């Protein structure tokens, strides 16, 4: 997709960033004749159209934390290339929570002033798929205290025991969904299956029939329905109700709001305020809220990993060349269906745009100064020549 084909509204975009673990090893980059020191992860930033159907990676660096200075540098470069950023999306890792604090982002004021256009705010979102996974994990691990009622996974377990496998009103879930381990806890689909309209109605039906008399089935049913509706984002009232519920909700054994609760409240307020700004400035009548999460970035990571076949843990140099193939159009998509997100078929922008932004943000390649040249003795050089299989042209 060429930049010239995009209308002004289609250029309005969302910036997301996240880290991907890579193989931590020394690499020799022949293009710059440099040995790269080991890196544990790569930080990647990506743009996605909020109204236009496009995406594009625009920054990467190794062992690089997202700081206020770096974030503002990226925003300035993107804005100067004619793409207005209206929102930022990230998960709630410790580094990102520290960044939010440094930016002055609060639950009630989830925005920052645009460093290029101070009169226009940029709204800061927590990644909703991460939030619903954290919500599910705390539910099955500890349970919740809500308005004097204790809601735990025991309520759902009793519901499952009431239904047969052949004629089940809870066909979306099983006992395994309440006892997840390892990578299973990272799958968004399993969380949305639990907090679904189907499970909500099943709890209500079993409660009305008198099968859950000793359990807070009504409160559990209402809570599951609210989470389901919030994830679908039906209307402003759902956002308001979810915010109020999160303020009252307490994880069992905790007295204060946890990060996922603050993230939900922050995201709800950011969405309402973002819509108000877009409505005022652009006459916007709706927002495609699924474009305000990190799924596009998670899919990008899956594509980069899949380019190595069974070798899905690239080092620095391999990441660089796989990214180059992706940007230049050799993008066959993720080959695995076992990802944490839905398959993404959003087209990429013209690679020239990425080249412009990357060039403005590129840092000098760090040279490993610990590796020093060593003068070999004649005897050692003979050994090196024997190891190399023939006379060398230059000495080390």
Determine the Cα–Cα distance for residues 346 and 49; give it in Å rounded to an integer: 10
pLDDT, one tens digit per residue, over 80-92 is 999 999 999 999 9
DSSP category for residue 330: -
* Boundary residue ending a domain (249, 278, 307): 249
**Residue 245 domain-assigned?**
yes
Which of the two residues, 210 and 376, has the higher pLDDT score?
A: 210
pLDDT of residue 393: 45
**Residue 238 domain-assigned?**
yes
pLDDT of residue 231: 92
* Boundary residue ending a domain (214, 249, 284): 249
pLDDT, one tens digit per residue, over 347-382 is 777 666 777 777 667 665 555 555 555 666 766 666
Same domain, 179 and 245: yes
CB contact burial 93-126 (16+ within 10 A = b; e otherwise): eeebbebbeebebebeebbbebebeeeebbbbbb
**Residue 378 domain-assigned?**
no
Same domain, 137 and 35: no
pLDDT, one tens digit per residue, over 256-267 is 999 999 999 999
Q: Is 251 helix (H, G, I), strand (E, B) or coil?
A: strand
pLDDT of residue 330: 54
Same domain, 16 and 83: yes
Are 311 and 22 in contact by the 8 Å Cβ rule? The answer is no
Same domain, 220 and 332: no
**Residue 96 domain-assigned?**
no
Position 198 pLDDT exceeds 50: yes
Same domain, 234 and 168: yes
Return the H-helix or E-strand segment holding 14.
Answer: strand 13-21
Same domain, 311 and 223: no
Determine the Cα–Cα distance for residues 327 and 58; give it in Å rounded to an integer: 10
Same domain, 86 and 135: no
| pTM of this structure | 0.83
What mean pLDDT comes out for the span 24-31? 89
Determine the Cα–Cα distance for residues 103 and 69; give it in Å rounded to an integer: 10
Q: What are phi and psi of 2, to 5 degrees?
A: -85, 145
Determine the Cα–Cα distance for residues 109 and 129; give it in Å rounded to an integer: 22
Return the H-helix or E-strand segment holding 205.
Answer: helix 197-208
* Boundary residue ending a domain (194, 219, 249): 249
Domain of 314, in residue numbers: 3-91+294-361
Same domain, 152 and 241: yes
**Residue 140 domain-assigned?**
yes
Work out the mean pLDDT of the chain and round it to a whole number: 87
Position 58 pLDDT exceeds 90: yes
Determine the Cα–Cα distance for residues 294 and 188; give it in Å rounded to an integer: 12
- Lowest-pLDDT choice from 84-93, 212-221, 337-346: 337-346
- pLDDT classification of 396: cutoffs 50, 70, 90: very low
Report the number of distinct structural domains present in the chain: 2
Determine the Cα–Cα distance for residues 11 and 1; give it in Å rounded to an integer: 12
Are 304 and 314 in contact by the 8 Å Cβ rule? The answer is yes
- Lowest-pLDDT choice from 5-14, 98-107, 119-128, 306-315: 306-315
Determine the Cα–Cα distance for residues 84 and 49; give it in Å rounded to an integer: 10
Same domain, 143 and 238: yes
Hey, what are 147's tokens?
């308005």
Strands 121-126 and 85-90, bridge-based pairing: parallel
**Residue 38 domain-assigned?**
yes
Same domain, 241 and 135: yes
What mean pLDDT comes out for the span 288-309? 90
With 0-12 / 13-18 / 19 or more C-beta atoms within 10 angstroms meaning exposed / middle / buried, residue 15 is buried
Same domain, 236 and 347: no
Q: How distant, in Å, are the alpha carbons of 114, 142, 181, 262, 293 from that of 138? A: 35, 6, 13, 14, 21
With 0-12 / 13-18 / 19 or more C-beta atoms within 10 angstroms meaning exposed / middle / buried, residue 211 is middle
pLDDT of residue 241: 95
Determine the Cα–Cα distance for residues 342 and 147; give it in Å rounded to an integer: 35
Same domain, 230 and 329: no
What mean pLDDT comes out for the span 63-73? 96
Which residue intervals of 153-216 are DSSP H helices? 153-162, 188-194, 197-208
pLDDT of residue 373: 57
What mean pLDDT comes out for the span 308-336? 78
pLDDT of residue 394: 44
**Residue 255 domain-assigned?**
no
**Residue 191 domain-assigned?**
yes
């Amino acid at each position: 997709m060429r930049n010239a084909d995009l209308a002004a509204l289609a250029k309005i975009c969302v910036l997301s960033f996240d880290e991907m673990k890579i193989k931590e090893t020394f690499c020799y980059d022949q293009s710059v004749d440099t040995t790269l020191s080991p890196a544990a992860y790569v930080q990647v930033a990506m743009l996605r159209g909020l109204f236009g159907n496009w995406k594009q990676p625009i920054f990467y660096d190794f062992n690089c934390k997202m700081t206020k200075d770096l974030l503002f540098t990226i925003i300035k470069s993107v804005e100067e290339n004619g793409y207005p950023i209206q929102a930022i999306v990230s998960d709630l890792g410790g580094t990102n929570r520290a960044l939010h604090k440094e930016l002055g982002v609060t639950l009630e004021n989830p925005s920052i002033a645009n460093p290029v256009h101070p009169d226009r705010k940029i709204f800061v979102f927590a990644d909703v798929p991460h939030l619903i996974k954290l919500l599910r994990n705390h539910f099955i691990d500890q349970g919740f205290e809500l308005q004097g009622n204790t809601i735990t996974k025991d309520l759902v377990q009793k519901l499952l025991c009431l239904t047969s496998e052949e004629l089940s009103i809870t066909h979306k879930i099983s006992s395994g969904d309440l006892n997840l381990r390892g990578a299973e806890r990272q799958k968004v689909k399993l969380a949305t299956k639990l907090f679904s309209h189907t499970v909500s109605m099943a709890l209500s039906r079993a409660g009305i029939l008198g099968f859950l008399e000793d359990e807070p089935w009504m409160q559990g049913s209402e809570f599951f329905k609210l989470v389901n509706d919030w994830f679908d984002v039906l209307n402003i009232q759902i956002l308001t109700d979810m915010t109020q519920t999160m303020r009252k909700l307490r994880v069992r054994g905790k007295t204060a709001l946890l990060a996922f609760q603050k993230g939900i409240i922050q995201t709800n307020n950011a969405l309402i305020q973002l819509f108000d700004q877009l409505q005022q400035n652009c006459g916007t009548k709706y927002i495609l809220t699924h474009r305000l999460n990190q799924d596009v970035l998670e899919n990008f990571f899956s594509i980069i990993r899949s380019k190595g076949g069974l070798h899905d843990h690239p080092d620095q140099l391999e990441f660089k060349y796989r990214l180059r193939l992706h940007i230049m159009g050799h993008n066959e998509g993720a080959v695995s269906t076992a990802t944490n997100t839905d398959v993404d078929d959003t087209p990429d922008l013209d690679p020239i745009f990425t080249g412009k932004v990357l060039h403005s943000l590129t840092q000098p390649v760090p040279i490993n100064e610990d590796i020093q040249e060593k003068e070999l003795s004649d005897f050692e050089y003979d050994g090196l020549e024997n190891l190399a299989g023939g006379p060398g042209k230059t000495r080390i």
